[in-house]
């Protein structure tokens, strides 16, 4: 099988949500290549926390089977989190069906999620080795269906301020220009982890320097080594590190330079306009590039990914591919 599902950006492209049917019930989920749990808001949560969300009701699904011995709890790098119990149920993404997918029904969700009223949960697309279900670890939707796909891959086509798509099982050549360049993925941390080999700021010269990175659709910004971030904002008049905001800010009327990442031996350019992320005040805007301090690697989140067509190749030699869209 193969199929396409649309994604729709939340405000500021902070996240991208896709309609998914779980036990015949449609929820809008954040497809997250940085984690490996499919979890959903559910009727098992306090009623007040369900308000504003679509929720999964396992009792009204004709195909749910409780995995009563299993439970899950997840913490994300932004401090948000959730926990709950587990069912097996039918999950449909576009036209791709997992007949018996582990659906992690939340009993508790952190406040950061609750206020995201369009976000009804996450669909993890990292490697199943980091799925949090205990005592019996479960597979991601992609791993569940992989063997039934025409090709063992999925692609991400995220756009700035407009709907895009995720495709499972095939590469749609109409969604990118030029060629796709690939980088080897190291799966030892369960992530789509690769090494970028350099960067450039605007029309400046290329700096050859390797930096360990992940491709993460579930992170909004582009997190890079501090020296690269300093080199970037050093080219922006009025840019500053504002500890009260927790990162670099720029004047909202800045004409920001592009950022070029060298991956797979090719140049991949983020337009400067994508790096003016969101207003903080009348004149100050939060930068879309921030330092990766404390994370342990760089994170190519949506600020970068929405400039690219991205292939997540889950073959026996996993790799990530990037092309200009």
Ligand X SMILES: NCc1ccc(-c2ccco2)nc1
Q: How far apart, in whole angstroms, are the C-alpha atoms of residue 193 and residue 185?
A: 5
Q: Which residue has the tokens 């576009």?
A: 94
Which residues are CB-contacts of 212 (< 8 A; sequence separation ≥ 6)? Answer: 193, 195, 297, 298
Residues written for the chain: 325
Q: Which of 21, 80, 195, 269 binds ligand X (CB under 6 A)?
A: 80
> Residue of minimal CB distance from ligand X?
218
When the beta carbons of 33 and 197 are compared against ligand X, the nearer one is 33
Residue 78 near ligand X by CB under 6 A: yes
Among 32, 37, 120, 258, the one annotated catalytic: 32
When the beta carbons of 39 and 199 are compared against ligand X, the nearer one is 39
Residue 132 near ligand X by CB under 6 A: no
When the beta carbons of 78 and 172 are compared against ligand X, the nearer one is 78
Select the span of 52-60, 64-72, 116-124, 146-154 touching ligand X (CB under 6 A): 116-124
When the beta carbons of 17 and 153 are compared against ligand X, the nearer one is 17
Q: How far apart, in whole angstroms, are the C-alpha atoms of residue 213 and residue 224?
A: 8
Q: Record the tokens describing residue 45, joined without a space.
A: 């949560």
Give the 3-state secondary structure of 246-294.
Answer: CEEEEECCCCCCCEEEEECCEEEEECHHHHEEEECCCCEEEECEEECCC
Residue 112 near ligand X by CB under 6 A: yes
Has 258 been annotated as catalytic? no
- Tell the smallest beta-carbon distance from residue 149 to ligand X (Å): 24
When the beta carbons of 30 and 167 are compared against ligand X, the nearer one is 30
Give the 3-state secondary structure of 209-246.
Answer: EEEEEEECCCCCCEEECHHHHHHHHCCCCCCEEECCCC
Nearest to 266 by CA among 217, 199, 185, 191: 199
Q: Which of 39, 87, 113, 277 binds ligand X (CB under 6 A)?
A: 113
Residue 76 near ligand X by CB under 6 A: yes
Cis previous bond, 180, omega within 30? no
Has 59 been annotated as catalytic? no
* Contact between 295 and 223 (Cβ < 8 Å): yes
Residue 187 near ligand X by CB under 6 A: no
Residue 290 near ligand X by CB under 6 A: no
Select the span of 29-37, 180-188, 252-260, 276-284 touching ligand X (CB under 6 A): 29-37
Q: How far apart, in whole angstroms, are the C-alpha atoms of residue 35 and residue 18?
A: 16
Select the span of 84-92, 112-120, 159-167, 227-235 touching ligand X (CB under 6 A): 112-120
SS3 content of the chain, % helix, strand, coil (to 5): 15, 45, 40
Q: Which residues bind ligand X (CB under 6 A)?
A: 15, 30, 32, 34-35, 76, 78, 80, 112-113, 116, 119, 122, 218-219
Q: Any idea which residues carry the catalytic annotation?
A: 32, 216
């Amino acid at each position: 099988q193969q199929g396409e599902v649309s994604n729709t950006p939340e405000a500021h492209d902070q996240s991208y949500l896709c309609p998914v049917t779980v036990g015949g019930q449609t929820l809008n989920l954040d497809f997250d290549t940085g984690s490996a749990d499919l979890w959903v808001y559910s009727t098992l949560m306090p009623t007040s926390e369900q308000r504003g969300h679509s929720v999964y009701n396992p009792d009204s699904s004709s195909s749910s089977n409780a995995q009563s011995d299993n439970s899950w709890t997840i913490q994300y790098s932004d401090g948000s989190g959730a926990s709950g119990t587990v069912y097996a149920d039918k999950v449909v993404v576009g036209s791709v069906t997992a007949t018996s997918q582990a659906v992690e029904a939340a009993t508790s969700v952190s406040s950061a999620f609750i206020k995201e009223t369009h976000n009804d949960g996450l669909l993890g697309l990292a490697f199943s080795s980091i799925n949090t279900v205990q005592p019996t670890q479960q597979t991601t939707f992609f791993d569940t269906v992989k063997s039934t796909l025409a090709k063992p891959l999925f692609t991400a086509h995220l756009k700035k301020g407009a709907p895009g798509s995720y495709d499972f099982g095939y590469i749609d050549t109409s969604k990118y220009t030029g060629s796709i360049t690939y980088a080897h993925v190291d799966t030892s941390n369960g992530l789509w982890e690769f090494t970028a080999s350099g960067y450039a700021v605007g029309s400046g010269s290329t700096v050859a320097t390797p930096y360990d990175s992940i491709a993460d659709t579930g992170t909004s910004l582009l997190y890079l080594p501090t020296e690269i971030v300093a080199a970037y904002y050093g080219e922006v008049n009025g840019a500053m590190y504002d500890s009260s905001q927790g990162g670099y800010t720029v004047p909202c009327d800045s004409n920001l330079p592009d950022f070029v990442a060298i991956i797979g031996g090719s140049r991949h350019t983020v337009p400067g306009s994508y790096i003016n992320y969101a207003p903080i005040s009348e004149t100050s805007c939060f930068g879309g590039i921030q330092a990766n301090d404390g994370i342990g690697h760089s994170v190519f989140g949506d600020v970068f990914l929405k400039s690219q067509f991205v292939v997540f190749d889950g073959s026996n030699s996993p790799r990530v591919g990037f092309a200009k869209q």
